[in-house]
Chain A
Amino acid sequence: MDVATSYHASGSHADDHHDHGPAKGLLRWVFTTNHKDIGTMYLWFSFIMFLFAGTLAMLIRAELFKPGEQLVNPEMFNQLTTLHGLIMVFGAVMPAFVGLANWLVPMMIGAPDMALPRLNNWSFWILPFAFTMLISTFVAAIVSDTAGSAPNFGWTFYAPLSTTFGPPSTDFFIFSIHMMGISSILGAINVIATILNLRAPGMTLMKMPIFCWSWLVTAFLLIAVMPVLAGAVTMVLFDRHFGTSFFNAGGGGDPVLFQHVFWFFGHPEVYIMIMPAFGIVSQILPTFTRKPLFGYASMVYAISSIAFLSFIVWAHHMFTTGMALVAELFFMYATMLIAVPTGVKVFNWVATMFKGSLSFETPMLFTLAFIFLFTMGGFSGLMLAIVPADYQYQDTYFVVAHFHYVLVTGAIFSILAAVYYWLPKWTGHMYSEVLAKTHFWLSFISVNVLFFPMHFLGLAGMPRRIPDYALQFADFNRIVSVGGFVFGASQILFLFIVIKTIRGGKKATDKVWENPQGLEWTLSSPPPYHSFTTPPVVP
């Protein structure tokens, strides 16, 4: 614990720093190297992107409200689905988890800040520029008749649709992906450096809060796969402008190679978006069951084995491309295997609940909804693993239902749970439990109205990414759209609740909840600008 001892050794000098607060004015946010400031910026950025990409989703659902062309033409529709996906994945979910890591990891391990504070500042400030570049293409497409389309090939940007047929804005997209990738890698390095170096004396890895464990594993996944994504977009760039034929069969390349490279990134990516959620749920559940997490060690092993398996299942996204029988069998078995560690996690959560003393504050409600609905996404995931059946499900609304269950009611519900759980700690104020419960029930009911009928649509044969549909899909689509509008509107209530809590409210105690475990609850609410200037002692 070098850092820890150096804080002790510097004696009175450390005390000078003890009380100094944030700089004044707007430049505080530009130059800050403070983990809480940066975490706050990440979370606000993520929320703004969530609302923007959510608005795109509302337009998609309005267009699909009934058959026929309603609001937008098919070209615009493809831009909406593409940007919705890209911004939700890279702009909303990922930065939200990085924001939570920034706020929580130093407080949870007893560190004063992140290990690499200036790098931290840079990794955040790359993001607004990357997304300005990406969204500028969409603005141009709306205001100008001659600018051409924004990216319109789906968030997966399969070649040759993005190479031969990609609009000029594809180059903006490529460079913004590069920037997002740099930001993610730097953020991941910082998390690893912090967790491995700045833990308080006595906090061994196996005593570490499970949220830190989940982020440690996530960070390694990020470092492993973001360069692969960078490689994929660079090859697309070269195919577009420099005469290469990586993905063009006419020049000796292979369009399917693109999908292999993309999903070698893409599958670990979906775990990057769910691992921290596992961590959050495992933190919150013990507080409101008043019972320690069941099977801490097996949770750590489950997270690690899911991370390992995530590298050897990528081709299950591309069964219909026509792989060799042996390859399809391998990827089917490997994919089914993921159900084992995922099952262990769900069973552990249920065992944590069992014979606990449960109370149902809003973070607990979102956590329970997560376990219910993420498991639902797990079931459809298991069904999708069965290759012959996958041939029917692939690229239909069944898949859309599946990944929205794991990403919205999985990842996003966990983020909402986390915000309600730690917001009193961050702001020093309690949120309004009545409003928060209203937000929960509106979200919980509408999200199921939104996504559950999509299973039926997919099984009945509705392909995804279509701007118009046959008449037999009309009734379910209308129900889905209504669910979508209510879910979208409910998140405005969340915005209101958060702002209200920041501005004031009942004072939160240091512990906030009845008996929460972890070092962050030993700090005041709100915590001091620098979390632990002298390391706490972990028994």
Chain B
Amino acid sequence: MFLRWSVLLRLIVILFSFTSSIAHAEYALNLPRGASVVSTEIHNLHMITLWVCVVIGIVVYGLMVYAIVRHRKAAGYKAAAFHESTTVEIIWTIIPFVILIAMAVPATRVLILMSDTSNADVTIQVTGHRWFWQYDYIDEGFNFFSYISTPEEETLNLAPKNPHYLLQVDKPMVIPVGKKIRFLITGKDTIHSWWVPDLGIKRDAIPGFVNEVWTFVDADKPGTYRGQCAELCGTKHGYMPIVVEAKTQDQYITWINEQKKANAPKPEAANKTYGLEELMKQGEQKYNQICAMCHQTSGKGNPPTFPALDGSQIVTKPEHKVEQLRQIIAGKNAMPPFGAQLSDLDIAAIATYERNAWGNKTGDIIQPSDVKTVRDQLKK
């Protein structure tokens, strides 16, 4: 049951908890100026439009207030009888029209600027998944996945919330400042939207289509820029943040080289035999990062969409070992395939963890070689 009777009680508690103060809360009232050429242009456009609205508002509301104060029946004011004037109608059709043209000109200029994705120095492909992001450094030949890293205890109010609550990831995207960066944005399953306000980018990640956008972070503005998915994409839509670290050119090159090294294939891992403790440790970390999103850290899941793993037949019965691995690699129903983003060792560790965590004390160990066998079977 989603809504329990205790809900009412909790509602009352919340209503009276006005006093709870939140650390690090800052007021932000306006669109950020941001760190990129485009975000600054957008900020300026926003301010122009806002001021135009404020001025029109003062005139219109001013006249209304004047009429309300001065032309009251209670003050003995007698109504005039006029109800038509073609001249006036023409004037207040033409003046707004002229104001609109004045607003459209800079808007058009910025839009044309934004649509020019040519001559980029770096190209990064962004893929939205339910519910995390994938970043492919196309020129450099490596990719990685970026998951939310806010601990579940903070969401469930069991631990104090850290300053970057819900806006932190395990592995941020890294970009160089002072370079034109082109993003190719697409979606894997449903539509997401990649939004980083300080870069002035929001673009939908649509399965089967690729959108192009670009940014240019000012050379003097390296830093960490945070954003979120902006298109409803299912249960965990609010839990797929974006973190972009803009670094200097030197730092960026160093980072790229580290990534290349770390992403080099390690053939020895596939044939090695691992102990239970080693797999459990790695499995717990990977499980909590990826699987817990739906099946929960507690293994209780969120039935019926996300079944419980604690006590589930498929992760406790020895005869279901292969089926368990098949589902992790190839997916089933609502569960997406994870074969492409997880190594054999990762999958072996997760499967071992699921068979030994919570109440599932089976003692089963799954080795990377077992995973490889299932993978090969699936290829046929």
- Which A residues have a C-beta under 8 Å from some C-beta of B? 62, 65-76, 78-79, 141-143, 145-146, 148-149, 152-154, 158, 160-161, 164-165, 167, 248-250, 254-256, 289-298, 320-322, 325, 328-329, 332-333, 336-337, 339-340, 343-344, 346-347, 350-359, 368, 371-372, 375-376, 379, 382-383, 386-389, 391-392, 394-396, 456, 459-461, 463, 465-472, 474-475, 478, 485
Q: What separation, in Å, do the CA atoms of A358 and B61 have in the docked complex?
A: 16
Interface residues of B in 26-47 (CB under 8 A from A): 26-32, 38, 41-42, 45-46
Contacts of B108 in A (CB 8 A): 329, 332
- Show 11 A/B contacts (Cβ-Cβ < 8 Å), sorted by A: A62-B11, A73-B2, A145-B1, A158-B191, A294-B84, A320-B230, A337-B100, A355-B79, A355-B82, A356-B67, A382-B49
- Check: B81 CB closer than 8 A to any chain A CB: yes
Q: How far is the CA of A442 from the CA of B106 in the complex (A)?
A: 42
Q: 8 nearest interchain CB pairs?
A: A249-B208, A466-B238, A460-B28, A322-B211, A357-B79, A292-B83, A355-B80, A76-B2
Provide the bound-state CA to CA distance between A290 and B83, in Å.
11
CB < 8 Å neighbour of A391 from B130, B185, B202, B235: B202
**Nearest CB on A from B45, distance (A):** 5
A461 engages B28 (CB within 8 Å): yes
The CA of A306 and the CA of B14, in the complex, are separated in Å by 44
Q: Is the CB of B229 within 8 A of A463?
A: yes
Shortest distance from the beta carbon of A505 to any chain B beta carbon, whole Å: 24
The CA of A346 and the CA of B45, in the complex, are separated in Å by 25
Chain A residues within an 8 Å CB radius of B96: 339-340, 343
- CB neighbours (8 Å) of B82 from chain A are 291, 294, 355
A72-B2, A387-B107, A469-B166 are known contacts. Are A357 and B61 too (CB-CB below 8 A)?
no
Supplied contacts A354-B63, A355-B80, 13 more A-B pairs, CB within 8 Å: A74-B235, A142-B1, A289-B71, A297-B84, A322-B209, A354-B67, A356-B67, A382-B53, A388-B114, A392-B46, A460-B28, A461-B32, A471-B23
Whether A459 pairs with B30 at a CB distance below 8 angstroms is yes
Known: A69-B156, A392-B46, A466-B237. A296 touches B29 (CB 8 A): no
Contact A470 B167 (CB under 8 A): yes
- Are B28's CB and A165's CB within 8 A? no
Please, how many angstroms separate the alpha-carbon atoms of A79 and B235 in the complex? 10
Which residues in chain B, 45-75, are within 8 Å of chain A measured between CB atoms? 45-46, 49-50, 52-53, 56-57, 60-61, 63-64, 66-68, 71-74
Q: Are A471 and B163 in contact (CB under 8 A)?
A: yes
B209→A146 contact, CB < 8 A:
no
User: B72 touching A295 by the CB < 8 A rule?
Assistant: no
Q: Is B313 an interface residue (CB 8 A)?
A: no
* Contact between chains at A386 and B208 (CB < 8 Å): no
B372 beta carbon closer than 8 Å to chain A = no
State in angstroms the CA–CA spacing of A329 and B112 once bound together: 9
Question: Given contacts A392-B46, A463-B230, are A143 and B25 in contact (CB under 8 A)?
Answer: no
> Which residues of chain B have C-beta atoms less than 8 A from A336's C-beta?
100, 103-104
Given A358-B67, A358-B68, A358-B72: A475 and B22 interface contact (C-beta under 8 Å): yes
Within 8 A of A (CB), among B116-167: 130, 154-157, 161, 163-167
**Which residues of B have CB within 8 Å of A352?**
83
- How many residue pairs between the two chains, A and B, have CB atoms under 8 Å in the bound complex? 330
Q: Which of B29, B32, B72, B112 contacts A357 (CB 8 A)?
A: B72
Contact of A250 among B11, B46, B78, B208 (CB under 8 A): B208
B314 at the interface (CB under 8 A from A): no
| Given A142-B2, A387-B111, A466-B228, CB of A471 within 8 Å of CB of B161 | yes
Please report the C-alpha to C-alpha distance between residue A256 and residue B229 in the assembled complex, in whole angstroms: 18
Partner-binding segment picked from B86-94, B265-273, B340-348? B86-94
Quick check: is B193 within 8 A (CB to CB) of the other chain? Answer: yes
Find out whether the CB atom of A164 lies under 8 angstroms from the CB atom of B190.
yes
Interface residues on B, range: 35 or more
Q: Quick check: B79 and A290 within 8 Å, CB to CB?
A: yes
B230-287: which residues lie under 8 A (CB-CB) from chain A? 230-239
CB distance from A385 to the nearest CB of B (A): 9
Contact between chains at B61 and A372 (CB < 8 Å): yes
Identify A66's interface contact among B17, B28, B29, CB under 8 A: B17
Smallest Cβ-Cβ distance to A336: which chain B residue: B100
B204 contacts partner chain A, Cβ-Cβ < 8 Å: yes
A69 contacts B14, CB within 8 Å? no
Interface pair B111/A78, CB less than 8 Å apart: no
Tell me whether B230 and A359 are in contact (CB under 8 A): no
B104 touches A388 (CB 8 A): no
Chain A residue at minimal CB-CB distance from B112: A325
Please, how many angstroms separate the alpha-carbon atoms of A70 and B235 in the complex?
A: 16
Which of A76, A141, A297, A386 gathers most chain B CB within 10 Å? Answer: A386
The answer to whether B73 and A470 touch across the interface, beta carbons within 8 angstroms, is no
Contact (Cβ within 8 A) A456 B28: yes
A460-B228 in contact (CB<8A): no
- Complex contacts, B334 vs chain A, CB 8 Å: 165
When chains A and B are docked, how far (Å) is the Cα of A485 from the Cα of B18?
Answer: 14
- Closest chain B residue, CB of each to CB of A250: B208
Once the chains bind, are B237 and A66 in contact (CB under 8 Å)?
Answer: no
Chain B, 331-344, contact with A by CB distance < 8 Å: what is the 0/1 string?
A: 00010000000000
Determine the distance from Cα of A320 to Cα of B161 in the docked complex, in whole angstroms: 32
Residues of A within 8 A of B322 (CB): none
CB distance from A172 to the nearest CB of B (A): 17
Q: Are B163 and A290 in contact (CB under 8 A)?
A: no
A453 and chain B: residue at smallest CB distance: B29
Assembled-state Cα–Cα distance A517/B211 (Å)? 56
Chain A residue numbers with a CB within 8 Å of B112 are 325
Q: Are A67 and B22 in contact (CB under 8 A)?
A: yes
Q: Are A160 and B3 in contact (CB under 8 A)?
A: no
CA distance A74 to B28 in the complex (A): 26
Q: Is the CB–CB distance between A389 and B46 below 8 Å?
A: yes
Given A357-B72, A468-B166, are A474 and B49 neighbors across the interface (CB < 8 Å)? no
Asked if B71 and A357 make an inter-chain contact with CB atoms under 8 angstroms apart, the answer reads yes
Q: Are B42 and A392 in contact (CB under 8 A)?
A: yes
Residues of chain A lying within 8 A (CB to CB) of residue B211: 321-322
In contact, A65 and B14 (Cβ under 8 angstroms):
yes
Q: Which of B171-179, B302-310, B360-368 interfaces with chain A?
A: B302-310
| Complex interface: chain B residues within 8 A of A154 (CB) | 232
Q: In the docked arrangement, what's the CA distance between A255 and B26, Å?
A: 38
Residues of A within 8 A of B68 (CB): 353, 358, 368
Chain A residues closer than 8 Å to B24, beta-carbon distance:
471-472
**Complex: A69 Cα to B302 Cα, angstroms:** 15
Which B residues lie within 8 Å of A248 (CB)? 208
Residues of A within 8 A of B208 (CB): 248-250, 254-255
| Min CB–CB distance B151 → chain A (angstroms) | 12
